[in-house]
Amino acid sequence: MSTAFAPLEIPTEPAAAATPFVGAPRKATTHTSQNEGLIFEKSSPGKKAYRLSELDVPAVDAAALLGDAVRENLGVMPEMSEIEIVRHFTRLSTWNYAIDLGMFPLGSCTMKYNGRVNEAVSRLEGIAEAHPYQPESLSQGALGIMKLLQDCLLEITGMDTITLQPAAGAHGEFTGILMVRAYHESKGNARKTVLVPDSAHGTNPATAAVVGYQVKNLKSNAEGAIDLDELRAAVDEDTAALMLTNPSTIGVFESQVHEIAEILHAKGALLYMDGANMNALVGKTRPGDFGADVMHLNLHKTFSTPHGGGGPGSGPVACKALLEPFLPRPTVITKTDGTLGFDHDRPQSVGRVRMFYGNFGMFVRALAYTLANGPDGLRQTTEDAVLNANYIRAKLEGYFDLPYKTRSMHEVVFSDKLQAKNGVKTGDMGKRLIDYGFHAYTVSFPMIVSGAMMIEPTESESREELDYLIDALQQISREAAENPELVKTAPHSTRIRRLDETAAARKPVLRWKAPVAAEPMQVDTAAKEW
């Protein structure tokens, strides 16, 4: 238990509505504005956010210029003063939890801090404004960035060749398994099945199915690893590949990966490695050296590009030479005159999988991160990520059940087995963690652990921040034993309490509608203002 803080006072009853949280949390504080209406609800007729002087030129007849396109009114639009607008959106912006405010202990997501230097480099003139369709002769700098990033990633992974084209990790999986299928088809047999361990990422079986394969599941053994005897029994001449997440979603490294690769290769099958968890391997070991034939990388998870939100991502796919003919076209090449360009003449390619060549801004950020760290720095980030996860594991053992005793890598998975005896589930504790100022850990995943509590601190977090999280989780463990209702009804310090998540998913409300018909704002087309 951390000695930096005295234990919290444990309430004996669930907090009342008027006093939502008894015993101040370590980090969280009540926001100055707990409630904020929609901008439409705050609107008042006649308010404006600007003032213009009288026109000093003749008024223009908008109808004469625009014809039927001229608008007579704005419909139902909010009317507010400038200070109200500024305060409204500023208050809303402070409601977001962000990596700039605190850690995200999400497991299997690697929510690390993105260095500001990455953003600065990506916005340099000539980089941010480069047009994807400009001639190769004018794109040598951009092509040089792509080529250098490819060289770095090949050295890190131990692979022979690579494409940067896929737009995300799952898209990279799709591309990689397309290449696997094209490889087998080139030999006259596409094969029928893909093997997926139960400890893999959930996108793996989905990817295999989308590409047209049947999925066979492999159960993990008591150590959370692949059972080699079961693998030998499952692999046959119909097996196209094994999709291996290594380290797995329970944070376990497949120490017998060499033998796994040999079993597959003996039957003509390939080893696909889900490289989402490379944050635990960079600078320590290379997938190409332990038998992987093809893999994808998540640049947001390992190489510090922005994560989530549905925005542009990047999921490069690296492979051994036997799969090189099937890479998406075009590929970046060095031409005979020494300049860089694109090679579109690839008859066995699986085709283009992305507009242009991919999300160039992500390439710039990932390369900036890689070069800023260098080989020693990248190795240090890996060691720090693994150290942080094992520090949390050591401090929380005994407070929560640890289903797999195998040494953890970059993340550790507990379960709610001890707390479930009092009716407290992993989701309850994740919501209670919000009261302590933290984003919840990954709840109920991986599926092979009942009541999973998946924690990945990454290398970004200091020992002080880890101690905050550890202290909060130790306290929640005590609360679950002594006052389970407090945890089961959490969170208590948020603007909105528990939502009906099932109804929200099945019957989402995606837009605001005026409760009554409002008078439309009239437009004076010949004057100075709305």
Q: What is the pLDDT of residue 34?
A: 55
Question: How sure is the predictor about 10, in pLDDT bands with cuts at 50, 70 and 90?
Answer: very low
Q: What is the pLDDT of residue 32?
A: 53
Assigned CATH class of 118-371 = alpha beta
The answer to whether the CB of 225 falls within 8 A of the CB of 252 is yes
pTM, whole model, 2 decimals?
0.85
Residue 511 has pLDDT above 90, yes or no: no
Residue 177 has pLDDT above 60, yes or no: yes
Residue 528 has pLDDT above 70, yes or no: no
Question: How sure is the predictor about 98, in pLDDT bands with cuts at 50, 70 and 90?
Answer: confident
Ramachandran category for residue 518: left, alpha or beta (phi over 0 → left; psi -120 to 50 → alpha):
beta
Question: How sure is the predictor about 242, in pLDDT bands with cuts at 50, 70 and 90?
Answer: very high
The answer to whether the CB of 370 falls within 8 A of the CB of 303 is yes
**Percentage above 90 pLDDT, the chain:** 70
Q: What is the pLDDT of residue 15?
A: 40
In the block, tokens 């999709």 appear at 243
The answer to whether the CB of 244 falls within 8 A of the CB of 281 is no
Q: Pairing state of beta strands 193-197 and 214-218?
A: parallel
| DSSP-assigned states of every residue in 493-522 | SSSS----HHHHHHS---S---SSPPPPPB
HEC profile of 342-391: EECCCCCCCCCCCCECECHHHHHHHHHHHHHHHHHHHHHHHHHHHHHHHH
Instruction: Choose between 517 and 178: higher pLDDT.
Output: 178
Question: How sure is the predictor about 280, in pLDDT bands with cuts at 50, 70 and 90?
Answer: very high
What is the average pLDDT score of the chain? 89
Q: What is the pLDDT of residue 274?
A: 95
| DSSP-assigned states of every residue in 95-149 | T---TTTS---BTTT------HHHHHHHTSTTTTT--TTS-GGG-HHHHHHHHHH
Q: What is the pLDDT of residue 30?
A: 53
Q: What is the pLDDT of residue 63?
A: 82
Question: How sure is the predictor about 36, in pLDDT bands with cuts at 50, 70 and 90?
Answer: confident
Q: What is the pLDDT of residue 2?
A: 37
**Percentage above 70 pLDDT, the chain:** 90
Q: What is the pLDDT of residue 124?
A: 95
* Alpha helices per DSSP H over 235-317: 257-266, 299-302
- At 16-33, the pLDDT tens digits run 333 334 444 444 445 555
Q: Sign of torsion, CA 469 472 476 477?
A: positive
Question: How sure is the predictor about 281, in pLDDT bands with cuts at 50, 70 and 90?
Answer: very high
Distance CA 166, CA 418 (A): 42
Q: What is the pLDDT of residue 423?
A: 98
Q: What is the pLDDT of residue 109?
A: 84
Cα–Cα distances in angstroms (integers) from residue 123 to residues 98, 118, 126, 325, in the given order: 22, 9, 8, 34
Residue 114 has pLDDT above 60, yes or no: yes
Top-ranked range on mean pLDDT: pick from 130-134, 480-484, 496-500: 480-484
| Range from 59-63, 288-292, 391-395, 465-469 carrying the lowest mean pLDDT | 59-63
Q: What is the pLDDT of residue 356?
A: 86
| Range from 17-21, 198-202, 497-501 carrying the lowest mean pLDDT | 17-21
Question: How sure is the predictor about 96, in pLDDT bands with cuts at 50, 70 and 90?
Answer: confident
Question: How sure is the predictor about 523, in pLDDT bands with cuts at 50, 70 and 90?
Answer: very low
| Range from 3-7, 310-314, 517-521 carrying the lowest mean pLDDT | 3-7
Closest CA to 163 of 349, 318, 268, 40: 318
Closest CA to 80 of 131, 126, 41, 124: 41
The answer to whether the CB of 460 falls within 8 A of the CB of 115 is no
Question: How sure is the predictor about 355, in pLDDT bands with cuts at 50, 70 and 90?
Answer: confident
DSSP structure class, residue 527: S
Paired tokens of 352: 């283009």
Residue 527 has pLDDT above 50, yes or no: no
Q: What is the pLDDT of residue 519?
A: 54
